[in-house]
Amino acid sequence: MSDRPAIFKTSRLARRASGTTVANRMVPEEVPIALSYGGTTHAVMMASPADFEDFALGFSLTEGIVGSAAEIEAIEVLDVEAGIDIQIRLKDKANTRFEARRRRLAGPVGCGLCGIESIEEAMRSVCDVHKPALALSADDIVQAVKLLSKLQPLHSETGAVHAAGFYVPGKGILAAREDVGRHNALDKLAGALSKAGVDGASGAVVVTSRVSVEMVQKTAAIGAPVIIAVSAPTALAIRTAETAGMTLVALVRGDDFDIFTHPDRVSTGAARHVA
């Protein structure tokens, strides 16, 4: 295991209207974390040094390496000088399937997408979430973001990390995770939900970041039919959410928000078209 702190105190020169002073500030740590399967590194992420097992499990699930936590035999966190190496041992059938997948990949092509080694893999089919009959009100959308903002201790101290939470109507945020990387925060949330036995179809994923296509892919892998974001989506994220049957709500600012796909899950009142 590792006991590396997630926050670091540093000194900086602060210029303000009242003058310039030397003062301390808390900043988030960022370390390379290798995710290794069967002794071979599959991906290296720059991430916050926390919630390692959630990260390993969530990444394995959202990247389709395993179908459930039961396919993982063991997770070992090794603190090496340069960073963290998370060694993940898969059970026989899952390991055979993963090795076959690894052989199919043609090798690095420079797509730069979180260690994924081929464009085809990056554009993999997204899980279908058309069926979950989750119903949200406008108040649910607003409340979900407000509640998540209260569950971000790292961000409160540093102002520099993302968060991902899972909101269930009538219950609030059941779990939340933070990380310097938005994908990592979502992977850690996926792992936490899996360990707690939470059904992804029962609620909505809430994120403090923009919505890129991989955020939609990972939300669908969790089984959540709704993603709620503080920032904007990309065009590809919108198309992918539409195909998957996912409701994509973004740009949640106070009581205002935009629904980009499958608005039927959110009751907002009568729509008014503006040219």
Please give the positions annotated as active site: 111
Let me know the angle formed at the C-alpha of 271 by 270 and 275, rounded to the nearest 5 degrees: 150
Cα first-last separation, the chain: 57
Neighbouring CB atoms inside 10 A of 74's CB total: 9
CA-based radius of gyration for the chain: 20
Place of tokens 């928000």: 257
Place of tokens 């997204």: 126
Sign of CA dihedral 168, 170, 175, 177: positive
Please state, in angstroms and rounded to a whole number, the distance separating the CA atoms of residues 3 and 260: 42
Closest alpha carbon to 169 in 150, 131, 196, 142: 142
Copy the structure tokens of residue 80.
């090496």
